[in-house]
Amino acid sequence: MVAGFIAYIALKDWQPGGGASRLPQYSFWMFALGWVVLYGKAIEGGQGRLARAAIVLLAAIFAFYQFGFQKDVLRPVISIITVGAMLFMPDVTMPKPLARIFLIASQAALTIYLLHLPFIKLFDALHLRPHKTGFHLGENVAAWAFSFFGCIAFWLVASSLTRAWRHEVSHSRQLSSAI
């Protein structure tokens, strides 16, 4: 989280291609914060409460620094509330079929993060969005759903191919060692 924060400060004015205002490492602290939250949940007793309070405080500092006080107050507040809920709320059990769906989505989270924009561009390239101007909720929800489920399908295919390739490599090594 600290490395992401330092990268944010060091590269704050750099804009690739002359137009982008936000680099991917600006969001790195969110991934690091997730790791810290997972670690914070594992600590028991008084030290755990102190660690969780410190994590919420760090989340508040980083969120307000990244999103700013004047620009948009809702984004840092949502980040802080989410971190607090993840740390202090008990784990929730859910029915197995629903848990399986959430498990697949969480396993595909990095793929969704990396590929959601290309899938939205594909949605537009296929001319599935009839209105090119203005905000149309139905079309934006459709683009989001297309992107979300497209990324999950991509992840399922990629992970299946990877699993099959690993099985094939393992099987060929067993055959070659038997000879």
Q: Using one digit for the tens of pLDDT, what is the confidence trace for 34-93? A: 778 878 888 887 888 888 888 888 888 877 777 666 666 777 787 788 888 888 888 788
- Nearest partner of 55 among 26, 30, 92, 24, judged by Cα: 30
pLDDT at 26 over 60: no
Q: What is the DSSP string of the chain?
A: -HHHHHHHHHTTT--GGGT----GGGGHHHHHHHHHHHHHHH--HHHHHHHHHHHHHHHHHHHHHHHTTTT-SHHHHHHHHHHHHHHHSPP----HHHHHHHHHHHHTHHHHHHHHHHHHHHHHHTT-----SS--HHHHHHHHHHHHHHHHHHHHHHHHHHHHHHHHHHHHHHHHHH-
> Tell me, what amino acid is at 64?
F
Which of 35-39, 107-111, 121-125, 166-170 is predicted with the least confidence, judged by mean pLDDT?
A: 35-39
